[in-house]
């Protein structure tokens, strides 16, 4: 799986596309740490098209990351859109409960982009021709 974290203006994008690979879990944990290091205001796109196979240690690292860095992320992140094939209302409620900023869980990348456009600083909209 190709896992990457990219920043384009105020858009931070964590992308994971199939097929899965043995280094996915480690790359994912590294990407989480990189999200925490963002200091300028940003909107976050998490576009994960398949499950990332995490080891028990990586699951623990993910949970510790959330607990340790949630306040730092909430200070800089303006909104988050999560694109998942199995997006539903229950997943929306869980993700919205995790963070204090607006969250959208959707199966549509176009819906995610439109949602983030509403919260992104003006230069993000300008970069996307909106």
- At 12 the pLDDT is 97
Q: Residue 86 belongs to a domain with what CATH number? A: 3.30.750
Q: For residue 10, what are the contacts with CB-CB under 8 A and spacing of at least 6?
A: 40, 41, 42, 43, 78, 120, 121, 123, 124
What does pTM read for this prediction? 0.88
C-alpha 60, offset from chain centre: 18
- At 129 the pLDDT is 47
Q: Give 50's DSSP letter.
A: S
Mean pLDDT by 10 residues, the chain (130 residues): 88 89 92 94 93 93 96 95 93 93 96 96 56
| Structure-token match 């995610």, residue found | 112
Q: By residue range, what is the domain housing residue 13?
A: 2-127
- At 20 the pLDDT is 78
Domain count across the chain: 1
- At 1 the pLDDT is 60
Strand pairing category for 77-83 and 103-106? parallel
């Amino acid at each position: 799986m190709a896992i990457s974290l990219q920043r384009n203006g105020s858009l931070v994008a964590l992308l994971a596309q199939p097929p899965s690979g043995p280094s996915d879990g480690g790359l994912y944990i590294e990407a989480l740490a990189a999200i925490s290091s963002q200091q300028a205001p940003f909107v976050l796109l998490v576009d994960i098209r398949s499950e990332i196979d995490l080891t028990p240690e990586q699951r623990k690292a993910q949970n510790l990351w959330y607990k340790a860095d949630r306040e730092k992320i909430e200070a800089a992140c303006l909104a988050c859109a999560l694109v998942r094939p199995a997006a539903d209302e229950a997943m929306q409620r869980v993700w919205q409960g995790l963070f204090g900023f607006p969250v959208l869980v959707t199966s549509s990348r176009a819906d995610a982009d439109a949602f983030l456009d509403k919260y992104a600083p003006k230069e993000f909209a300008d970069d996307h021709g909106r």
